[in-house]
Amino acid sequence: EQQQLQPQQNNHDASPRATGRIPFDPNFLGRYKGEFSRAMEPISSYVTTKEKVLELQQTLQSTHPIVYFITPTAHRRTQMADLTRLGQTLLLDQYQQQQSTSGGGGLIYWVLIEDALRCTKRLRHFLKRLNIPFAHVAVRTPPNTKNKTLPPRGVEQRNYAMDLVQNRVGIAPGIVYFGDDDNVYDVRLFNELRKIKRIGVLPVGYRGGGHYERCIVNPDTGMVDSIVEKIPTRRKYPVDMAGLAYHSSLLWSSSSKNGDNRPATFSHDWSNGQQETRFLQQLVDSVQELEPLAYNCTHFFVWHLSTTQPDSALKVVDDPDYDSLRHMV
C-alpha cells in the first residue's frame, strides 16, 4: 500500500543477494535483460483504498476536493512518452499543494484504465514511482465495437472508472475529470477544477494554433450564453471531453436525467462526436447550468496535442540491451 506523499528514497546499499530477492526500485523500472515480454506481463489490478486516501487527507490537512483524474490508455509506441508527460504534471500539482502557504492542499487520485484484459507491469512500475494515490485497472473494449468508421474511444474505460469512484474509492467532496493521456495540461488546471460546485466547463485548444472550443460567458450574469465550436455541428453541448468536469456528489445523487436514478454514463450507441453532449444531457437542461472556469473561459489550461506515431520499421540495431530497454520508451 502506498505511503505518504513524499519522494521515495532508494536504498542502493541493500544487497539483493543478502535478501535472496531483488528489492523494488521504482527508478530501475525493471530492466528485463533480453525479454521485452516480461515488462508487458499481466498483473492484477491495484486500487489505493478509501481509508488510505482519508489518511493522506488528514496528513496534508486537506480542505479542498479530491480530483479524480480518469485516464483511459492503450498500448502504443508513444504510450510511455505521453504518460510520463502527464504524470509529471500531476506530480507538480501535488508538490505545489504540499508547499502551499495557505495550507489544506488538495489531493489528486489518478485512475488509469488500460484498454486490455489485464494490467501490465511496466505501467505499475511507472505509477509507483510517482507515489501519488492511484488505481490501476484494465477493461477491454469489446472487439465488435471497433468495426465502426470512427468508433468512440474510452467508453468502457470511463464508465468503469466512474463506477470505481462511486463504489470503491469515492470520497466527497471530489471532482471527476476525464484527462486523456495524449493531452497537454497546464498545472493551473487543477485549482480551477477544485472550484466546481456541480458541473464545470473550460476552453480546450487544439494543436496548430487558432483552433479551440470554449463557452461564451455573459459579462453581466457570469453565466454561459453559448458555446464556440471548432467545427459547426448540431450538438446541444459541443464541449470537448477535456473541457468538462463534475462534482462527485452527482455519482451518489439522483440528479441524472435518465429517469431511473442511474448515474450518467457513456455509450457505444453514440458516435465519436456525440459522447460529450449526450453525457451532459443526462446532467443538465441548458448551458446556463454550466459553471465557467478559467477566468470565464478566456484562458487555456488544456490542449489536444497527439504525439506523432513513429515509424514501426525503425529499430536500434547496434545496442545489445535493446530488448531490455525498449519497454521504457
Residues annotated as catalytic (active site), given as ranges: 276
Contact 70, 244 (CB under 8 A): no
Looking at residue 160, the DSSP 8-state letter turns out to be: H
CA separation (Å) from 27 to 77, 166, 305, 323, 327? Answer: 21, 33, 27, 18, 14
CB atoms within 10 A of CB 210: 7
Alpha-carbon distance 274 to 152, whole Å?
9
How far apart are the C-alpha atoms of 241 and 253, rounded to whole Å?
22
Using only C-alpha atoms, what is the Rg of the chain? 21
**Which has the closest alpha carbon to 185: 232, 233, 242?**
242
Name the residue with cell 466547463: 201
Report the alpha-carbon distance of residue 15 to residue 12 in Å, rounded. 8
Rounded-to-integer distance, Cα 226 and Cα 235, Å: 12
Picking from 130, 125, 137, the residue whose alpha carbon sits closest to that of residue 73 is: 137
Q: What letter would DSSP give residue 76?
A: -
Residue 39: Cβ within 10 Å count: 21
Instruction: Please tell me whether residue 177 adopts helix, strand or coil conformation.
Output: strand
